[in-house]
Amino acid sequence: MDGRRVAYLQAMGLDVWLERGAPVPAWPQATPCAGGGVAALDWAGLEARVRGCRDCALHRTRTQTVFGVGNRQARWMIVGEAPGADEDRRGEPFVGRAGRLLDAMLRAIGLSREEVYIANILKCRPPENRDPRPDEVGHCEGYLGRQVDLISPAVILAVGRVAAQNLLKTQTTIGRLRGAVHRLPGSDIPVVVTYHPAYLLRSPAEKGKAWADLKLACRIAQDTEG
């Protein structure tokens, strides 16, 4: 392992190396939202639809929508829960301290932010950063589903409890979900669950587990290569 990789791991607060290695339930293909179907939209059409979305009350309090960012032919897709205040201002997912930690986590496995695609369960910020409500998730589900369809990633990294439970259609705790390979309901796309960077900033002792999750996702991506 080269010096830069070690430095990235140290930036994550890691000084140990861990290994790890259970199935599930039924994520729909991109489905119609209140504003009409999205299943046939290309990237430009989908982004425009999200930008003009008024399907739930979150449009009244947002500064702007947060569509997603990164490589649209990526093998890795990172899915978080919802935009926060910084994301709402900048229109980009995972910025601020949590975003910098996510960037360090990606660099530790040899990836840059530009090589993956990053999106959220919700495209608008919930007030006071509260958890997304089921109806809000339902309105955005078709948008995220279409992004998944367009990218067809080799692996999805579900970041945080809200993202994991909504992607996998389960109420299982994140502690029980991580450490295993799941499948996106309704597809064969592997899903690996890990902790949210914001949680890791508050609980640095859990970074070793997140590193094990990243290595598991790496093995999946390598196994599906070619």
Residue 181 lies in a domain: yes
The pLDDT assigned to 205 comes to 96
User: pLDDT tens digit string along 111-158?
Assistant: 999 999 999 999 999 999 899 999 999 999 999 999 999 999 999 999
Residue 80 lies in a domain: yes
Could you count the other beta carbons within 10 Å of the beta carbon of residue 197? 25
The pLDDT assigned to 73 comes to 96
Question: Exposure pattern of 176-187 as b/e (b: 16+ CB <10 Å)?
Answer: ebbbbbbbbbeb
Tokens of 192: 């690996």
- Cβ-contact 180, 217 below 8 angstroms: no
- pLDDT band at 37, cuts 50/70/90? confident
> How many independent structural domains does the chain possess?
1
Instruction: Evaluate if residue 20 carries a pLDDT over 60.
Output: no
Burial class, 90, CB count within 10 angstroms (exposed 0-12 / middle 13-18 / buried 19+): middle
More confident residue, 66 or 5: 66
User: How far, in Å, CA of 117 to CA of 77, rounded?
Assistant: 5
Instruction: Evaluate if residue 32 carries a pLDDT over 80.
Output: no
**Domain of 61?**
32-223
Could you count the other beta carbons within 10 Å of the beta carbon of residue 154? 18
User: pLDDT tens digit string along 152-199?
Assistant: 999 999 999 999 999 999 999 999 999 999 999 999 999 999 999 999
Query: Which residues have CB under 8 Å from 79's CB, separation 6+?
Result: 118, 119, 120, 121, 144, 156, 157, 158, 159, 163, 167
Residue 20 lies in a domain: no
More confident residue, 4 or 23: 4
The pLDDT assigned to 58 comes to 96
Residue 27 lies in a domain: no
Residue 19 lies in a domain: no
Residue 11 lies in a domain: no
What is the DSSP code string of 20-63?
A: -------PPSS--BTTB--TT--HHHHHHHHHT--SSGGGGT-S
Residue 148 lies in a domain: yes
**CATH number reported for the structural domain that contains residue 59 in this entry:** 3.40.470.10
The pLDDT assigned to 151 comes to 97
- pLDDT band at 36, cuts 50/70/90? low
Residue 177 lies in a domain: yes
The pLDDT assigned to 22 comes to 41
